[in-house]
Structure 1
Amino acid sequence: MSFEFTNSIDDYIKAYDYIDRHKPDRYFKFYIVPRIIAPLFQLLCIIYAFVNYDFYQVIRSTIIGFIGLVIIFIALKTYYKNRNKQISDWKIDKPYLFDKKTITLNINTLTYIDKHQTREIELSLFDKVVEEDSLIYIFGSNYNLYLVIPKNTFNDFSEQTLFINKIKGLNN
């Protein structure tokens, strides 16, 4: 079973978005903190001010909590902007990532060929195969990204399902 495909910058951006949403340490930094802890901090500031019966303290606490929220969201936006720029720079630094690739699924290995290298990867190294939107992500341990495969690589859905099942079947 052999397939050819190329990846775009957006493919890698989507892959790293997936990692940010699912890798435990990144999930806490990028989803829990800004969406739960920061608003909770603002609420605690307001409650503290009401307990002290000081109207000006309520206003100050609300402003401080709001500034904390803004700082967290600016930091997140900066992180994503820098990460996406870094991935875009791969077009210059790592052009082989965007070359045409051929993958061949053998019995216990996946052979990966581009114009710079040929690699054989043991299927036992793959921990997770994820289908999301128009892409298939193949991860190793600790969300180490091995491959991003566009779904349009496959001729039909049954071919795609067969490929995924062969990879998953050896790891379950």
Structure 2
Amino acid sequence: MLGCFKIGFLFGCRPVIDLDGTHLKTSNGGVLLCAVGIDGNKGMYHVAYAIVLKENRKSWEWFIGLLILYLKIENSYTWIVLSDKQKGLLRAVEELLPNSEHRFCVRHMYSNFKQIHKGVQLKSLFWKAASATRLVDFNSEMEKCKALNIEAFNWVRARHPRNWARSHFSTWPKCDMLLNKFA
């Protein structure tokens, strides 16, 4: 964690952090945990990174704990956390940043959805519902999904829209990103 990144993030970026891990393909293995912010142009801004043995709740709690100290996060209410909903990460965010707005990557969500519910029409309805900016449009797309495939509708409705649907996002951070991969 470098001081220049901290200053740049705190003074030049939105209160949004993308948390992600990627497996290292080396003889030693390990996982690279990353915290990436976004600037005013929706560009990536590297905040912090660490290499851990494996991606689990304990490693995420350690990393997020350091991030909280590093960025001096006193009130998580003003922060948005984007993630792929990895189980260890989900619980760590809930525990350490309980008041943050936790958003899930819609691409990961759709990847799980399409394994069970296939079809071009369902794909279109899913993405239209996720990207709708108005509640009326979101509800319209969800009703179309319900009419087309009730099981698909129930699958989507089981996930709270505040975590994945643009129409349900809070407006104070001025960030409507649906994906946790900025690049």
Q: Which bin holds the TM-score, normalised by the shorter protein?
A: under 0.3
Larger RCO (CA within 8 A; separation ≥ 6): 1
TM-score (norm 1): 0.23
TM-score (norm 2): 0.22
Structure with the higher helix share, 1 or 2: 1
Question: If you compute each CA radius of gyration, which structure gives the higher value, 1 or 2?
Answer: 1
